Structure 1
Amino acid sequence: MNVEERRRARADGAAVPQPERARRNPARRAVTERQAITLSRGQRGAAQPTEQPAGDPPERVIRRRPKNRRAQIAATSAAAFGSLGYHGVSMEDIATRLGISSAALYRHYPSKYALFREELLRLSGATVAAVTLPEEAAEWSAERRLGHVIDAVIAETIANRPTVALVRWERRYLDDTDRETLDGEFTRAVAVVRDLIGELRPELSRRERGVRSVAIFSVISSIGDHHATLPVKPLAAVLNSAAWTIVRADLPAPEPVSDTHRAAEIPQSFKHELLLKKAVELFHERGYPNVSVEDIATAADLSAASAVYRYYRSKSDLLAAAFRRAADRVSGAIGPATASSNSPAEALAKLIDLYVAGSFAERELTFVYYAEFGHVPAEERTVLRNIQRLIVAEWVKLLVQVRPELSEGQARILVQAAFALVVDLGRAFHDDRICPQDKVIRLLEVTLFGGPRP
């Protein structure tokens, strides 16, 4: 068949005989067949779409970047910091939670510290906004002005409950400039409440008003330290009632304080006790992640870090041992106090006295217990949590017997607030002449009992 005949045959759709060379060469014949298939598909046109070969990649899906990506990152990182602490979170963790790459995360924030800083300064700014009165408040009574601020602080704290504890326990990881900014804003908020208390109770000294203001913020923000749940309205109501009880309470007049009590020195021969004491002091001062075994050995006058391991298996074992001691001290007081009392009110009052005395004796440990709990090994943490639950449950049982109008949930909120008061007052007022033990005891009593001791 010549060329002209082949052209006519293709036009008529007839089979075209293969050239002789194609018949003799299988490879050339395969090429010719593929050409015929391609030509046939081209003749069918677009009316019949071709099948996509199995080896081709799938069609690309275009993902558009959300307009509020930066806000999403800030919210996700805040939640991560709130549950795991600053040192428990990495940029990779945050990126994974968001479903983006680490590179994409770094395009918005240069570091984990930048995210941490933003959340803490956001919280301090929100607190300042909460204590700022509207213009029309100039015409309000002193009680209404103070009530407005207390309600606003409670609402803001409940809205930010997952991250409130960051300010309480993790602020020390800010650099000096940022920590100064944060402290300045919270000091301003405390001063506003202090002055509003003064408008309502002008007979109180400036120090007395300051102690009450710190106590109010402590009670409200204590909800960030635990997971006891109440619906928002009952939770706000119980916090509001406790705050007003503190405002109206009559506290003991300050008394002259004799020589400052000095803690007994631990003999060098009791190395395990000395190591425990020095470790807690360092954890309190620098934060657990920033303290090494070498630092602890040096503080205890040991020649090398290896000497620490004769007494404790690891740094975390030191922390767990300190926490067990604190938990045993509080839990061990419950049985004797209950057995030696004639009423639930008397038993609870004894427990308050013992708790405050123990906390004053070991202030650093009381703070570290709250701030560094997440660094205890998981198994030990479970044991300590169980002990803590039992302690709270016993206090709650006594409180409900004293105040039957309270539900167990409300009583649990108040017990946690009382525990937090001891830590926060001790941290805010290092001078015992401003906030001595008897005043702290009275504040715990009015918080729990809703007034003077029954």
Structure 2
Amino acid sequence: MRQTPVKRPKNRKAQIALAAAELFCARGYHGVGVDEIAGVVGITGPAIYRHFPNKYAMLVHATRELGLSVRTAVDTALNGTGDAEQQVDRVLEALAVLSLEQRRVTGLYQWENRYLTAEHRTEFRRGLAALIDRVGERVRAVRPELDRVQARLLTRAAFSAIASLSTHRAPAARARATDLLRRAGWALLRADPPEPAGPATGAGSRPATPDSRREIVLATAIRLFHQHGYHAVGMEDIGRAAGLRASSLYRYFPGKSDLLAAAYHRAADRVAASTATSLDVAGDDDQAALRGLVEGFVALTFDHRDLVAVYLAENNNLPDRDRHELRRIQREQVEQWVRLLESVRPGLSTPDARLLVHAAHNVVTDLGGATDPAPPDAFRSVVTSMALTVVHRA
């Protein structure tokens, strides 16, 4: 008896790209193999190559699909009936829904695109910039007093707040989270117009030059991890950039993973120190304490840009023991913000406070730390204002 051949699903390529994107965001681009992606989809490794020539092509496709999803959501919202305010409101709601529905892949916009070539990275950024410009024009129709730069900045901040769901694992009930993120977006769009901060060509305050060989090695590794990604950097590269032989590095760090762990502990220590200072200075004034935490986080983001970028991007490459411990520390630091926010806003539930804290964090790191070129130092007051707007007005 002749068997009917099994037909391949028409959306197989999309299935592969989605599985790859979810794995990249969960485990990091270099931590995922083609066979693993194939296993999730239910096919063999060689079968993937009928659709993609290599893993990088999957990353490019997934990033483009993410951009298409955002563009479609914005286009649909802007093309509907109603005035500019209603159109903007639909944009914010549509993006909040998309952020929830694609939470496991939205992280591509923030850190996995670092693995794209310059050509594909430029393509992605131009597409996002065009969307921000389109929405910014509608924002100007709602707020005619804004100039184009101000409207664009507020719109970009709103996008960052809404996209923050991809940066954490806190539970988010669909209806409640959608409404809260939409409100956070509106709070930013209605914020006071940011004052010009000068051309975005400076890198802000520079950290002090390391004064020991161990510190030089660590600072060099952090810079290279930020510029090229953890997996693209070898001990030889670090030694060469630090002016040392690679064999000399092992006097200070047993291996590259230990360097990465040291970077994470350094970032955690700086956050802890900043938090302690803010709480001590504020005393019993929770409002002042919360503002101090925001200002401290902004300062860390501006003054230690490489460190913060690595802290955000390379978590999946940490050894298990360090990753679990650092996640515990991160949760404790977030909960300190949450407790203060609940004290300042008594009617706010703990889940809502937690989502707003993460949204404020993402606004800071997007506007102050992940831009290229780096923002000028004068811009930190604008970023501080944006973060405070999220936690106080959303």
- What residue in structure 2 maps to residue 279 of structure 1? 221
Tell me the amino acid that sits aligned with residue 255 of structure 2: S
Task: Measure the CA separation in 2 of the matches of 1:248 and 1:435.
Answer: 22
Q: Which has the higher contact order (CA 8 A, sep 6+)?
A: 2
Give me the CA root mean square deviation.
2.5
- What residue in structure 2 maps to residue 263 of structure 1? 206
The answer to whether residue 31 in structure 2 is matched with residue 88 in structure 1 is yes
**Pair member with larger Rg:** 1
- What residue in structure 2 maps to residue 329 of structure 1? 270
Residues 78 and 91 of structure 2 are in contact (CA less than 8 Å); yes or no, is this contact kept in structure 1? no
Shift of 1:366: 0.9
Task: Measure the CA separation in 1 of the matches of 2:157 and 2:59.
Answer: 26
- What residue in structure 2 maps to residue 247 of structure 1? 189
Structure 1 unaligned residues grouped into runs of 5+: 1-58
Q: 1:428 to 1:203 in 2, by over 3 A?
A: farther
359, 371, 378: which one aligns with 1:428: 371
233, 255, 259: which one aligns with 1:318: 259
Tell me the amino acid that sits aligned with residue 91 of structure 1: V
35, 42, 55: which one aligns with 1:112: 55
Q: 1:433 to 1:196 in 2, by over 3 A?
A: farther
Shift of 1:299: 1.0
Q: 1:333 to 1:294 in 2, by over 3 A?
A: same
Q: How many residues of Structure 1 are paired with residues of Structure 2 in the alignment?
A: 389
CA deviation vs aligned residue, 1:40-79 (integer Å, no higher than 9, x gap): xxxxxxxxxxxxxxxxxxx999883442433432332222
Shift of 1:95: 1.9
Task: Measure the CA separation in 2 of the matches of 1:408 and 1:61.
Answer: 58
Shift of 1:189: 1.0
Partner SS, residue 169 of structure 2: coil
- What residue in structure 2 maps to residue 178 of structure 1? 120
CA deviation vs aligned residue, 1:321-380 (integer Å, no higher than 9, x gap): 111011111123334433442322111111111111122110111111111111111100
Task: Measure the CA separation in 1 of the matches of 2:302 and 2:329.
Answer: 21
Shift of 1:220: 0.8
- What residue in structure 2 maps to residue 23 of structure 1? none
Give the TM-score normalised by the residue count of structure 1: 0.80
Task: Measure the CA separation in 1 of the matches of 2:108 and 2:153.
Answer: 22
Kindly report which structure 2 residues correspond to 1:45-194, keeping only aligned pairs within 5 A, or say none: 64-68=6-10, 69-133=12-76, 137=80, 140-194=82-136
- What residue in structure 2 maps to residue 346 of structure 1? 288
Shift of 1:89: 0.9
Give the TM-score normalised by the residue count of structure 2: 0.91
Q: 1:270 to 1:63 in 2, by over 3 A?
A: farther
CA deviation vs aligned residue, 1:120-158 (integer Å, no higher than 9, x gap): 100011111122156864x62221121121112222222
Task: Measure the CA separation in 2 of the matches of 1:356 and 1:319.
Answer: 22
Tell me the amino acid that sits aligned with residue 414 of structure 1: L
Residues 363 and 423 of structure 1 are in contact (CA less than 8 Å); yes or no, is this contact kept in structure 2? no
409, 414, 421: which one aligns with 2:351: 409
**Share of identical aligned residues, percent?**
35
217, 229, 238: which one aligns with 1:296: 238
Tell me the amino acid that sits aligned with residue 293 of structure 1: M
Shift of 1:118: 1.1
Task: Measure the CA separation in 2 of the matches of 1:212 and 1:356.
Answer: 17
Structure 2 unaligned residues grouped into runs of 5+: none
Tell me the amino acid that sits aligned with residue 256 of structure 2: K
Q: 1:90 to 1:63 in 2, by over 3 A?
A: farther
The answer to whether residue 213 in structure 2 is matched with residue 305 in structure 1 is no
